[in-house]
Copies of this chain bind each other. A is one copy, B any other.
């Protein structure tokens, strides 16, 4: 497997050339005090070293050895404890955290890139700190001062990890029907009892304590989602002097054996009259959980990008080294017995698909991270627009980047041929690891429903209009300047795609007034149409910069320009068929009895 190299050059391009992140940070007072370009560069530099040297290096053995379970004790694979220690002691668990409790207060634009590099290094490893940060977000927003002082500070310090306990065996996508109970005690705490499954990092040996955030219902809670509350349930109770106290009747019943992310502990967790503390308001548990969801879901999307980036690097190195067959236009490497497989159009197609999707996804995810930052740190209209766009694009990020990530890991595997299928080369692990990202944190089908039903239809199209207005304004701006003649090759197809997305949105919302199932049937196609169109917008912006600098000695801009052209020629057209099927109607889906399947 190729040695992993964090694409710092492209990250820098996205941050500073594409989005002028340093100017944004300067303009937002709450951010300006924590971050500037120098700080950001130091962070990315330092994180990239850890990702390349201490995390990427343990991934393969982690996959082979996996997590072991023995009598309730979960032992992580070799190197995970050390890597976690390095990561935690570097303070990286607190990267996006609230400075009032020891967090670094970095914007999502930085934490997102840090996530990408660690996910490229090893998704299994990164799930431990990632779930920990996610729980930290909920706690920072909804926890009482006492809980934050006692638990959040220790999470940020990297002393303790955390988990999110949502799913039960009968309740995954449908959390309204969970059965875990929380019984109020006189001292204001609760006794939590129930069984949770699929709990990432529910138990492990990386930290001395684990802070579980658990969804449960009070005995008299209303039925359905409106009766769910959120509780903090530590593995070990914490004494008043902040030392570790007695065990809290939290146990791991077993771990799952999975297709991938073998080094990540996926646990069955049992709570048996365990002491818990309410986080946020009673019966508002789902809302407290969803606070972190926007941040987490884009994070899962970024896991897809990470795996895809790694896949591209491996496949490219292999393709350049592998001599097999001859170019159709005559030998390119006549002194050797064969040309490298880079001469074959179909190999180049697979590599360029990956390159264009990866760079496009990185840029688009940074754009969405930027909206999250506006939503969190800006004010007035800027805040409202950031809120609207991040709300709209969170399900897109989760589903589109993981679907593209899966495609890219499969493509990378295909480039390696038989060597992509055997374990030795490490390439097939990426396919197995990334596959879960299309499933967890809400399946991609649920994301598509969230996008089209809750966000687009729920706002009567208003949220989508915010996006369309921005793109249309950009198109007008570029088109109105005669110096931008050379941008026509990008602006025209972008305008067509944007116009088509607008028409499709109207078409579906209108159809849905007769039959709401029209949305369910079209949701997956619609999400992908939106994805390719949004990516086209970002690729057009990148192409603009690359066009302006194509004469530069830095070949980076030529590569970027070419990749933009590739995206418009070979990837954007995918939307055409998707529009066709999105419009084909719900009848073919629903007018067939279940027994005829």
Contact = CB atoms under 8 A, between A and B. Distances in A.
Interface of A: 167, 170-174, 177, 197-198, 256-260, 266, 316, 320, 323-325, 328-329, 337-338, 342, 344-352, 355, 406, 410, 413-414, 417-418, 420-424, 428, 431-432, 435-436, 438-440, 443-445, 448-449, 453, 515-517, 519-524, 555, 558-559, 562-563, 565-566, 569-570, 573-578, 580-581, 584-586, 588-592, 594-597
Contact of A316 (B413, B423, B522, B597): B597
A320 B167 contact: no
Given A260-B421, A345-B522, 7 more contacts: A172-B417, A316-B597, A346-B521, A413-B439, A562-B591, A566-B589, A573-B584
Contacts of A448: 346
A406 to B, nearest CB: 8
A423 B349 contact: no
Contacts of A575: 577
Contacts of A345: 517, 519-523, 586, 589-590
A256 B325 contact: no
Contact of A519 (B328, B337, B423): B328
Contact of A329 (B449, B517, B574, B577): B517
A538 to B, nearest CB: 18
A285 to B, nearest CB: 18
Chain copies in the assembly? 2
Which one of A355, A428, A577 has the highest number of Cβ atoms from chain B below 10 Å of its Cβ? A577
Contacts of A519: 328, 345
A349 B589 contact: yes
Contacts of A584: 569-570, 573
Nearest to A444: B414
Contacts of A576: 576-577, 580
Nearest to A453: B328
A592 B562 contact: yes
A172 B418 contact: yes
Given A346-B445, A352-B589, A167 B257 contact: no
A358 to B, nearest CB: 12
A431 B440 contact: no
A167 B324 CA distance: 12
B324 A172 contact: yes
B348 A590 contact: yes
Contacts of A352: 588-589, 592, 597
A24 B171 CA distance: 54
A597 B351 contact: yes
Contact of A431 (B259, B424, B580): B259
A425 to B, nearest CB: 10
Given A258-B423, A259-B428, A573-B584, A346 B418 contact: no
Most-contacted residue by chain B among A177, A198, A570 (CB, 10 A): A570
Contacts of A445: 344, 346-347, 350, 414
A591 B424 CA distance: 33
Closest 4 CB pairs of A and B: A345-B520, A346-B445, A259-B428, A573-B580
Contacts of A522: 345
A576 B573 CA distance: 9
A7 to B, nearest CB: 13
Residue of A355, A421, A565 with most partner-chain B CB within 10 A: A421
A336 to B, nearest CB: 10
A148 to B, nearest CB: 31
A422 B410 CA distance: 19
Contacts of A257: 422-424
Contacts of A453: 328
Contacts of A424: 256-257
